[in-house]
């Protein structure tokens, strides 16, 4: 993990969906932000007060204190930029989100690039310094090394040639070993808005990936198919 320094804008993410929280934090750190996370509303509110961030990404539906309440409470004494995330679409919710003092609003599901663009825009407006890109840690799993910053994957030191989505897929699995993910979950997490196919897209990429990471691609032991459920990365 990159060490926080004074030039990095501080972003607080309050979101109770584990996978989304992880993905948000990972992408924000990759952009050079110093990220803190909370999965409960009350924790998020406490963190925002104890160490005021430069920007808050705030889910609406949260255990503890909900996002709307947090936004109202913070607005009493703070003009920190707030982006609200909500699973509830529609104009009414949008207006509700803005009326309580949020600066921006993103209905779920949203694309990571869209979110990052809005974060940059809000920070620019509020005068926080542009993010300085910090080195990202290299992940290792068995004889693999993944460098998310360089977008390079190596096996036993040897560089693997990968399509961008194969790399994203391997990165995702490396970060979530020992858990079964359905094709739909994988599409959502790895492809997001870039997606123009069906669940078969996942199968095709898994097949390509296995050619590169499995000792015997016909009998996969690292990236396993779980019948009726999806895929599981053994790490």
Which residues would be at the binding site for Ca ion (CB under 5 A)?
16, 59, 61
Between 102 and 232, whose beta carbon lies closer to Ca ion? 102
| Residue 86 Cβ vs Ca ion, minimum distance, rounded to whole Å | 8
Helix (H, G, I), strand (E, B) or coil at 113: helix
| Residue 61 Cβ vs Ca ion, minimum distance, rounded to whole Å | 4
Between 9 and 67, whose beta carbon lies closer to Ca ion? 67
Between 57 and 131, whose beta carbon lies closer to Ca ion? 57
Of 93, 86, 53, which is closest to residue 67 (Cα–Cα)? 86
| Edge-to-edge strands, sheet with 104-107 | 34-38, 10-14, 55-59, 82-86, 104-107
| Residue 102 Cβ vs Ca ion, minimum distance, rounded to whole Å | 15
| Residue 17 Cβ vs Ca ion, minimum distance, rounded to whole Å | 6
Between 45 and 171, whose beta carbon lies closer to Ca ion? 45
| Residue 82 Cβ vs Ca ion, minimum distance, rounded to whole Å | 15
Do residues 203 and 220 lie in contact, with contact meaning Cβ atoms separated by under 8 Å? no
Residue 166 CA, chain-centre distance (Å), reads: 17
- The tokens describing 109, both together, are 């599901």
Contacts for 127 with CB less than 8 Å, ≥ 6 apart? none
Do residues 12 and 50 lie in contact, with contact meaning Cβ atoms separated by under 8 Å? no
| Residue 188 Cβ vs Ca ion, minimum distance, rounded to whole Å | 15
Beta bridge partners of 34: 10
Q: Which residue is nearest to Ca ion (CB)?
A: 61
In the chain, the N- to C-terminal Cα span, in Å, equals: 20
> Cis peptide before 109, with omega less than 30 degrees from 0?
yes
Between 72 and 212, whose beta carbon lies closer to Ca ion? 72
Between 54 and 59, whose beta carbon lies closer to Ca ion? 59
């Amino acid at each position: 993990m990159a060490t926080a320094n004074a030039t990095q804008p501080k972003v607080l993410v309050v979101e109770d969906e584990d996978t989304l929280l992880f993905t948000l934090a990972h992408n924000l750190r990759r952009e050079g932000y110093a990220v803190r996370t909370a999965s409960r509303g009350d924790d998020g509110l406490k963190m925002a007060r104890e160490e005021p961030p430069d920007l808050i990404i705030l889910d609406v539906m949260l255990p503890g204190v909900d996002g709307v309440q947090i936004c109202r409470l913070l607005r009493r004494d703070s003009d920190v930029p707030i982006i609200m995330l909500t699973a509830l679409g529609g104009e009414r919710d949008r207006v509700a989100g803005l009326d309580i003092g949020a600066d921006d609003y993103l209905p779920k599901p949203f694309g990571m690039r869209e979110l990052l663009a809005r974060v940059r825009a809000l920070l620019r407006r509020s005068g926080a310094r542009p993010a300085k890109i910090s080195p990202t840690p290299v992940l290792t799993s068995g004889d693999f090394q993944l460098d998310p910053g360089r977008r390079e994957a190596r096996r036993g030191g040897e560089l693997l040639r990968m399509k961008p989505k194969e790399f994203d897929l391997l990165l995702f699995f490396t970060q979530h070993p020992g858990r079964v993910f359905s094709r739909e979950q994988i599409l959502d997490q790895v492809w997001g808005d870039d997606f123009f196919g069906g669940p078969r897209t996942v199968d095709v990429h898994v097949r390509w990936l296995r050619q590169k990471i499995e000792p015997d691609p016909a009998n996969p032991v690292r990236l396993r198919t779980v019948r009726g459920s999806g895929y599981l990365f053994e790490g």
